[in-house]
Structure 1
Amino acid sequence: MDNALKVERPTVTLRELALNKLRDAILERRFRPGERLVERKLCELLGVSRTVVREVLRHLEAEGLVEILPHHGPIVARLDLETVEQIYEMRMVIEVMVVRSCAERIGAADVDLLRVHLDEIRAGFAASDIRRVMRGTSAFYEVLFTAAGKTVAWDVFRNLNARINQLRSYTLWSPGRNVTGPGEMQAMLDAIGAHDPDAAEAACRLHVGNAWAIARQSAAASE
């Protein structure tokens, strides 16, 4: 049979494209916390139907990036100090466990891959490209979890990632974080590469703790 007329399934749907665009816009703070998300305006901006917009908003609500307020409609999720505390408590516990395990079992190829992703993070900062920084950061952490053999923990962490990235949109661009952040990650990588779990844990606690403090200040200022 002639397959010339066969319709190929697109690799990315219109809904997925719209979801990624709106998520990026929120993370890049083109929509501010508490800002109302008007469906009609989003339809015009994204070039999609109201049905698609509603599906996207429901998905982002599940990720924690959008709130639906009674009699008001969807807004960009606001920073909440209690939520910040819970997210960073979980981050600290999970990441400390992962970096210790990673330092004990990582191979040379994964160390090299972590270096590549860290270089990408630095390049993103140099270009003031938040998407590039976040992509590099997500890739860096995925290698950490995989090298540590913590695939279940990665699934848990990945489910938190949208909220973590929202907080990163505040912490990444705080003064000097473009230097201190990668520097802390470099210290963590050096300890992991040296197979030193105690030093890796100390570097991880410093890195997460400093980001936590910045996020806490941002949340307190927004209340």
Structure 2
Amino acid sequence: MIEQMRVDRSAPTLRELTLEKLRDAIAQGFYRPGDRLIERTLCDQLGVSRTVVREVLRHLETEGLVETVAHSGPIVARLDPEQVQEIYEIRALLESEAARACAEHATPALVKQLREIRKEIEDAFDQTDFRRVLTYTERFYEAMFAGAHKPMMHQVVKSLNGRINQLRSVTISSPGRGADSNREMNKLLTAIAKKDGDAAAAASLEHVRRTASIAMAALAGQVSEQKSA
């Protein structure tokens, strides 16, 4: 009887599936900053109850992807320039240290895994499949932090993943970004393969700072458009 009652934790719940769908929709720009998130519409689009939608919206609010506006209800959180800058500062600090540690602990198996992920990302860029770029970029960093033996650092980064992917969806779709991103990340991978911690940290910083400059420029353009509208 006890075995029959045991919950299958490997199977995602309806709430988890809905959370993933709505998070992805925001990250990929289907819902843009400032868009209202109307519960009834979301219920119809996602095919779930209002209770599930409300739980998911509350969770996304804790991730910083949703905010509640008086008399309007939940909306997609607007990207605040100061917060965006701080996100990239956190990424620069943690990812560069993880890159250094990953290089110092690199094994042939880890390098092979990272190279395989990089091939998927390059192919996704070639196909302009930005959703796949996001998916495999996340996997690259998961593998890098695991290889660095920095689980707590990774937890901090993961807590920001919703907003990080929202920003990535802006940067990876910018003209010419695919080639530049591939060059920057392959430079990082080469340093890891050579077990050169200093070069890996420097390559990681270069990548994050370049990405930050693209995101901030795009954000400034959006603010300018809103003021002129």
TM-score where L is the length of structure 1: 0.93
**Corresponding residue for residue 134 of structure 2:** 134
In 2, distance between residues paired with 1:56 and 1:129? 26
The offset of 1:157, in angstroms, is 1.1
The offset of 1:60, in angstroms, is 0.9
In 2, distance between residues paired with 1:107 and 1:80? 40
**Corresponding residue for residue 12 of structure 1:** 12
In 2, distance between residues paired with 1:38 and 1:73? 8
**Corresponding residue for residue 171 of structure 2:** 171
The offset of 1:75, in angstroms, is 0.7
Contact 2:27-2:163 within 8 A present in 1 as well = no
In 2, distance between residues paired with 1:7 and 1:103? 41
1:216 matched to 2:216? The reply is: yes
Q: After alignment, is 200-209 or 110-119 more displaced?
A: 200-209
The offset of 1:217, in angstroms, is 1.0
Say which SS state the counterpart of residue 30 (structure 1) adopts. coil
Q: One-letter code of the match for 1:29? A: G
In 1, distance between residues paired with 2:67 and 2:149? 35
**Corresponding residue for residue 82 of structure 1:** 82
Q: One-letter code of the match for 2:33? A: P
The offset of 1:107, in angstroms, is 0.7
The offset of 1:125, in angstroms, is 1.5
After superposition, what is the alpha-carbon deviation per residue over 1:177-206, rounded to whole angstroms, capped at 9, x for unaligned?
111112110000001111112221221111
After superposition, what is the alpha-carbon deviation per residue over 1:59-80, rounded to whole angstroms, capped at 9, x for unaligned?
1111111111111111111111
The offset of 1:121, in angstroms, is 0.9
Contact 1:79-1:222 within 8 A present in 2 as well = no
1:93 matched to 2:85? The reply is: no
The offset of 1:92, in angstroms, is 0.5
Consecutive unaligned residues of structure 1, counting only runs of 5 or more, are none
Contact 2:18-2:46 within 8 A present in 1 as well = yes
The offset of 1:173, in angstroms, is 0.5
Contact 1:65-1:163 within 8 A present in 2 as well = yes
In 2, distance between residues paired with 1:200 and 1:16? 35
Contact 2:43-2:49 within 8 A present in 1 as well = yes
Q: One-letter code of the match for 1:47? A: G
**Corresponding residue for residue 206 of structure 1:** 206
| Count of aligned pairs | 221
CA RMSD of aligned residues (A): 1.8
Summarize the alignment of residues 1-223 of structure 1 with structure 2, pairs less than 5 Å apart.
Answer: 9=8, 11-223=11-223
In 2, distance between residues paired with 1:91 and 1:192? 18
The offset of 1:146, in angstroms, is 1.0
Compared with structure 1, are the counterparts of its residues 103 and 45 closer, same or farther at alpha carbon in structure 2 (3 Å cutoff)?
same
In 2, distance between residues paired with 1:131 and 1:115? 19
Say which SS state the counterpart of residue 68 (structure 1) adopts. strand
The offset of 1:135, in angstroms, is 1.3
Q: One-letter code of the match for 2:117? A: H
The offset of 1:130, in angstroms, is 2.2
In 2, distance between residues paired with 1:22 and 1:90? 25
The ranges of structure 1 where at least 4 consecutive aligned residues each deviate by more than 6 angstroms after the TM superposition are: 5-8
Consecutive unaligned residues of structure 2, counting only runs of 5 or more, are 224-229
Contact 1:181-1:207 within 8 A present in 2 as well = yes
